[in-house]
Amino acid sequence: MFIRDDILYVGVNDHQIDLFEGLYDVPNGMAYNSYVIKDEKTAVMDSVDQNFGDEWIANIKQALGGSAPDYLIVQHMEPDHSANIGRFAAEFPNAKIVGNAKTFAMIKRFFGTDYPDKQVVVKDGETLSLGSHELKFVFAPMVHWPEVMFTYDAAAKVLFTADAFGKFGALDVEEDWACEARRYYFGIVGKYGMQVQNVLKKAAALDIQTICPLHGPVLSENLDYYLELYNTWSSYGVESEGLFIAYTSVYGNTKKAAELLKEKLEAKGCPKVAVADLAREDMAESVEDAFRYGKLVLATTTYNADIFPFMREFINDLTERGYQNRTIGIIENGTWAPMAAKVIKSKFEKSKNITFANTTVTVNSALDSTSEAQIEALADELMG
């Protein structure tokens, strides 16, 4: 794949993987992206997962017509992008390894050496000339590891963005970018919104025509769309009008309450009501939807004087990712001592700008006229 005549794609597709990072379901696999910049000197941008070293090295040799690269630029040390650094060093003994001080500290931890005879240590804003290609290093700490840096190719107007602007899914599978990029962002990068905002401000000063991430497709058209989504996500803004109802239900009564609220909201003109059974649907998809919409309803049972385990996990996933700037409604269920609402509110005590609806729906075992009236009132409040 040519990004342009002198920038080639040398990454790989992984259809062996079932869970990315041992956590995220990836039915369409993953791409581990790597690029070659050809000039008077040549640079390879990042490595790939350990299982694809042979394919990656073969791709590099094919791209360079059998000649050896001069540099390996390491933007991110997570093993799906760095596992073959040692293989590269052995295969191309005269090549230098480019990274920052934190990069080389991590290289030593992973490989037992920091390759002192091969090091090119760069600082934020420094440049490396390949000839006509002048590479500028833009540090992006905690997007989403501390050593991360972007690389801007001023001649090609290409920004290599490490894991930023990445998505789940291999490149030989056609799918909507936003859905899997959103799930990837909030699952993996979402906690670090402030750091993403910082690097977006740096990127705003650059003339960018192409974005080359380490996962997902190269982005070269309608860049404002991708940049605006990243700005919305990282500032914890609202992407879509509507509301998300997340529920857990033991015997079906909390589910009925959630479904009734959905009916009421739709009847009142809510543009979109998404609903998820947290016990049965992908948790990362539910986290994605909670961040996508501005309003969230949590419906769950009291369970062991706490809340149902899947709801507890879901709320933990939200709060550890900085969930904020949202309105939350609550439906609690309990036969003798309902206390889910109290527990839920306590779990958001450290969250920023969370507004709880005045109406709390309390279901005593099963829906009745009182709880149905509360659902009507909650729907009115959420539509207000």
Angle between helices 223-234 and 193-203 (to 10 degrees): 150
User: What amino acid is encoded at 32 in this protein?
Assistant: Y
Architecture of domain 2-234: 4-Layer Sandwich (3.60)
State in Å, rounded, how far the first CA of the chain is from the last one.
51
Please state the pTM of the whole predicted model.
Answer: 0.94
Q: Determine the Cα–Cα distance for residues 340 and 344; give it in Å rounded to an integer.
A: 6
Q: Determine the Cα–Cα distance for residues 35 and 321; give it in Å rounded to an integer.
A: 31
pLDDT of residue 203: 94
Q: Determine the Cα–Cα distance for residues 120 and 156; give it in Å rounded to an integer.
A: 22
Q: Which residues pair with 212 in a beta bridge?
A: 160
Per-residue pLDDT reduced to its tens digit, 105-116: 999 999 999 999
pLDDT of residue 158: 98
Q: What is the dihedral of CA 95, 98, 102, 103, to 10 degrees?
A: -60
The closest alpha carbon to 339, from 308, 368, 306, 372, belongs to 306
Angle between helices 283-292 and 177-184 (to 10 degrees): 100
**Three-state SS at 270:** coil
- Contact between 195 and 143 (Cβ < 8 Å): yes
Q: What are phi and psi of 19, to 5 degrees?
A: -125, 120
Q: Determine the Cα–Cα distance for residues 106 and 20; give it in Å rounded to an integer.
A: 21
Q: Which residues pair with 274 in a beta bridge?
A: 244
pLDDT of residue 384: 87
User: What amino acid is encoded at 95 in this protein?
Assistant: A
pLDDT of residue 66: 85
Instruction: Give one DSSP letter per residue of 85-139, joined into a string.
Output: HHHHHHHSTT-EEEE-HHHHHHHHHHHS---TTTEEE--TT-EEE-SS-EEEEEE
The domain limits of the chain are 2-234, 240-383
Per-residue pLDDT reduced to its tens digit, 226-284: 999 999 999 999 999 999 999 999 999 999 999 999 999 999 999 999 999 999 999 99
pLDDT of residue 111: 96
User: What amino acid is encoded at 189 in this protein?
Assistant: V
| 240-383: CATH superfamily | Flavodoxin domain (3.40.50.360)
Low-confidence ranges of the chain (pLDDT < 70): none
Q: Determine the Cα–Cα distance for residues 369 and 147; give it in Å rounded to an integer.
A: 57
The answer for residues whose C-beta is within 8 angstroms of residue 315's C-beta and 6 or more apart is 298, 307, 344, 347, 348
